[in-house]
Each structure stands twice: as structure tokens, then as C-alpha cells.
Structure 1
Amino acid sequence: MSWSNHSGGPWGQKPGGPWGSGPSGGGGGTPPDLEEFLRRGQDRLRSILPGGGASGRGIIFIILGAVLLWLATGFYTVRPDEVGINLVFGRWVGNTGEGLRYNFPYPIGSVITPQVTTVNTIEVGQRTGDTSRRVAPAREVPEESLMLTGDENIVDINFTVQWQVSPAKPQDYVFNLQNPDSAIKAVAESTMREAVGRRNIQSVLTTDRGAIESEVRESMQTILDQYGAGVEVRQVQLQKVDPPQQVIDAFRDVQAARQDQDRIRNEAETYASRVVPEARGEATRIIQGAEAYRERAVAEARGAASRFTQVYDAYRTAPSITRERMFLETMERVLANADKVLIDPKEQGVVPYLPLGDLQQRATPPANSNTRQGATR
């Protein structure tokens, strides 16, 4: 189907296409002249630049302005919790502290600002999280928490490691660690397994918790320093130290029995510490008493022998006098506690009197006395 240009084309419009009339001043559909367009742009640029038609000088000013703007992009700010690591052509040239600093702008220079005061936490053996603003229950990770002790028992240990970037060597942290969390976690798990493997399960569960934490922290710091990780280990804290869940009830029974054993042993040691000194004291007393009796018996025997010797010597010198003296001393000992009446046979008119009634009363005890003695027996 043909149409005439005078009819306005297939859209029924005037010449110039469906979007209205053609360019003005060009006469019909002729496109604008490109040289004319460039000439008009140069005229406008000359009017803007100082000096009018001095186009070379204006271009220099533009270049200088662009260079100044590019150099100004090299200023950067380091926050109080950060350290600035300056790079030139990708090579580390130094660190900067907090404040407004400057380095060569991109692409010559760049700056990395890691946070060196933030304390990061890594969990080993469990995972905790926050869901809907509520703390979610911890999820156990048995492949990380189950460890073998030195006496070939299995213990379930969950612990956390707190670390931060070393302010003295932040460049080591930036350049030497590709995945810091994974590297630190691997070091923490290996050192914990080593520390637990040197102990028996009883000490791990009871007395060596603090020692294990200190040992693991020091070992981790040593290994990370050897790696040049630029990390400071702040704290290692044991969260849970238990036997495996499958045998925890039986293990608690064993632990209770051991506690009873320790209690009974302590009671026996207390009793022994009380009885043994008493027995030793009693033995010492008996020995000292025997020694004293021996000394006394020996002294008495020696005294009796010496007295007999003296009496014998005196008897050999004066037998009659000695016999009379011995008789008198013997009668003195015999009659000392007896009732007696002395009668001189030379005296005349003295009638001997024997008080039989008094002697019988003295010889026969009272009836009430016999009753009391029988009751006592």
C-alpha cells in the first residue's frame, strides 16, 4: 500500500514522524551538523574558562583541579577502636592510630581499618543463638565436644574462647589469616584435646578445670604467635564438663561411691590420728611407770641389803645386844596396833584381869554391820 508524503504518512500526521515535527532550523528532516555542535561547545567552554580564548591554560587548570580532587580522596579517619593499615600498590607500609590520617588515594594506595578492641567469642562443642529476641537453646556438636582422656575414658566438654586482634600486629591478622574464626577454632580444639589427653577423667571433672583453662590459653597463644596470626587470646572458659550422655547416670553412681569411699577413709584417718597418739601416750606412761618401779625396787633392795649387812656386822660385834634389840623392834611392830596391858610380875597385890566381855564384843562384829556387808556384796 502506497501513500503520499503530503498526506502525513501512515499515522495521518505532518512530516516529521510519529513523535511530532522534525528538528527546527534544519529545513525538513536533515540531521544537525556535528562540526557546528562541536564549535558551539568550544565557544561555551571558552566563555567559562578564565582568559577567554586561552584554551591551553584552561585545560591545565582543569587537570590540576582534577588532580587535587583525586589527592583529597586520600584522607581517611581512624576510629578509637581501630588501627589504620596503609598499603601502597598492595604492599604494607605502616600503621596509623586514631584520628584524621592520609595515604595515597586509590588506585595507588588503600587503607584497611580492623577493629582491635572488639572481643570476639568462639564456641566449641555447642552453638547458641538468638531467635525472635529470645535466646535459643544451645545445640550440641558431639564431633567437637567428645574427647578422650589419658585413662581412655570419654568426656563431653563445651568451652568458649575469647580473642581480639592484637593492637601491636594488626597487619599479621589482616594478611596471614584468611578465615580467622576457623583457624582459631581449630587451634582451640586441638590444644584442648591435648590438655585433656594428659589427664584422667576424675581430675578433668573435679580439680583440674582451672589448670586446663590456663594451659589451653597459653598453648593457643604460643601456636598463634608461631603462625603470625596477630591475635591475642583473652580467655578460655569451660562451660560443661560431663561424661557422655549415654553413661552419665552410671558415672554419677560411681562418683557417689567414690565420695563415700573418700568420706569413710577420712573418718578412719581421723580416728587413727586420735587413737594412735592416745595409745602411744599410754605406752609411754606404762614404760615410765615400770622404769620408776624398777628404780624403786632396786633402791629398796639395795637399802635392805645394806641394812642387813649393817645388822650382821653389829651382831658379830655384840650378839646379845643385837638379839635383844631385834626382839624389841619386832615386838614394837607387832604390838603397835594391839590393845595391851602391861603387868610387872615384881609388883605384889596386882590381880591379873582379863576383860573377856570386851574382847568378845570386839571379836564379834555388830549385826547391822554384817547386814550392810551382805547387802554390799
Structure 2
Amino acid sequence: MKITLERNHLLKSLAHVHRVVERRNTYPILANVLIKAADGALDLRATDLDIEITESVPAMVGTPGTTTIPAHTLYEIVRKLADGAEVRLETEGAEQMLLTSGRSRFHLACLSPDSFPDLKSGSFTHSFSMPAASLRELIERTQFAISNEETRYYLNGIYFHALEVDGAPVLRAVATDGHRMARAEAPAPSGAEGMPGIIVPKKTVGEVQKLLDGAGDGEVSVEVSDTKIRFTLGSVVLLSKLIEGTFPDYERVTPKNNDKLMLVDRGAFATAVDRVSTIASDRGGKAVKLSLREGQLELSVTNPDHGTASEELAVEFEPEGFEIGFNAKYLLDIIAQIRTEGAIFLFNDAGSPTLVKEEGEARALYVLMPMRV
């Protein structure tokens, strides 16, 4: 193999593929990136056996060939080369590659590409394209609620499914960790109808989000089967296994009869919660109490070791006095997702889930379990 290419092009592609590679691997080949030079392009592929990402970058190919080299080492070398530099890659036998750029020379150990795993995609039952911005919003509005609890592995991702809402087809994303739930939806693209409910793993969600951040106003192609999902954005293809399991019936825990409505300024509320929670204790679950009476909200925290804190806000609230407690961090995570100036809270009683949403026709809603305070 002998190729020449521009450093910035190679760095951009390596930035995408090397993130999939785990720092510690039982199998040495999984620490490497597969590189294949042919037909005026260099193809790079990396996998952790659950996710596989492939990208092509233009290159001057003198001699075609295929090999694998340490992914993180290659990325760090290219990252530290001069901006706009020319990079030459040349294999020296089967076990070594020479990387040269300007006066810099690196000899890198290679492993045979024959043992590099291939995450077979199989056939996909549903395929569709949608604006990258729409998929990015679905992820951003729900990702924070993904559970990290390994025993309930079916909560370790975002649940996507297609359904009809008021006669209109929508694509809905849901995530929950048992303490809070986030639900967001977008118009269902053509081809998504009848798509099976799938759970996309947290790591895959994170990688897709990073790719979408650089996609601008482009389109993303999505292909789905019962066991895998494939995303294509320009020259980048990300293939991932899905979480096998049944996502809980989230509709059952979504409040339907919460009739105590509070409308509060989102920014003022977030700032007040952040301030009073400064003295909250981890032992007490970072609990903050909301005490409501007509037109006024008092936020308070009591910490036996450090004292108390309270702050009052003007709100729209008409029912008689009401008190409820929440984990301050969970409360701040949810309020950060509200895009309108006002945030609407719908309460039932101090022991029941609270519904949080934006003003107007909101495409997202959030459910938060209360705490005893």
C-alpha cells in the first residue's frame, strides 16, 4: 500500500472512527482501525463488536492495499501534524507501516486485516431519510434520561417507534431511568410507518449525536431491522446492534389527570433551583421542596449539616396550597430541555408523577417522580 492524502481530511475521518475503539481490549485487533486504499479513496473502519463505523476520504492511491493499525495512536499522530500538511502512508511488509509528513516519520505496527471483525448488517425491513436536525432534536431532548443501571439493560438506550397521534404519523423517542422520563416526537418520514419499536444503545446514541452535530441542514438515512440499525450521513456509515429487550409501557406512567397547573418563567426557575440546591446534601438525595400558593412559589432546601436555603418566585398557580419535593439535579436536567420562556408543571399530589412541558403545541414532554422532603 502506498497513498498520499491531506492531513485535515484524514483527521476529520479519524475523529469519527477512532471514538468507537475502546481503550482497553481483550482482542488486540479491536484496538486497530482497518484501512483500505483503492480507487482514489482511503476507507477507514473501526468496531467494538457492537458498533461499526466506516468512512471514506479522498486520497492519491499509488499502490492499493489493506491493513490495520492502532486507531488511537494514528489519530494522535495525525492530530499533532501541521494544519494542511500532506500525509504519506506506506506499508513495509505485512507488519509495519511508515507514516511520513514533512520531516516527521513514524513506524507503526500493523496486524493482519484477515482477522478484523465484520459486523454483518443483514437485511433491513424499514428505511427512510429525515432531516439531521430533526433526529438531533429527538436525541437531545431525551438522551439525558437514559439509565446507566446495568441490571435493567433495556433502559440503557432510547426507544424509537412510529405511531399515529391525532391522525398524523410521528416518530417518537422515549428514554427513562425510572426516576424521570423524556418523550419527544417529530413528523414520521416516509418509510417509517410500521417500524418496529427499537432500543438504540447509549453509546450509539452518543456517536450518532456527534455525527449529527456536524451535519448541518443535511439529511440522514436510517435503516432498521429487528436487531440492527444503520445511519448514513454523507460518507459516514454507522452500523449498530440494538438492545434486545422489551421497553416498558411508558404510557402507563405518563400522568393523564394532573390538574394542578403551575406556569413559571423557565430561566428564573432554573436559576433559583440551582441556587438553593447549593447546600443540599447528597445523603438527602439533593432534595428541593416546592411550596405553592396562589401566585407564588417558594423553593427551599434543608440540610442538617449546613443549614437551610429558600427563594420565592412569582408564578401562575390557582389551586389551594400544595407542597412537593424533587431531586434538584433531575429537576434542572428537565428544565434545561424547555425551549419556551415559560415552563408548565402539572401536579396531582405529592406522591404522584409530575408532568413538565413547554407552552403551546409542544413536541416533547417530561415526567418526574417526586421525593419525600
Same fold, TM-score > 0.5, yes or no: no
TM-score (norm 2): 0.21
Structure 1 or 2: more strand by fraction = 2
Structure 1 or 2: more helix by fraction = 1
Bigger radius of gyration: 1
Q: Greater relative contact order (Cα 8 A, min sep 6): structure 1 or 2?
A: 2
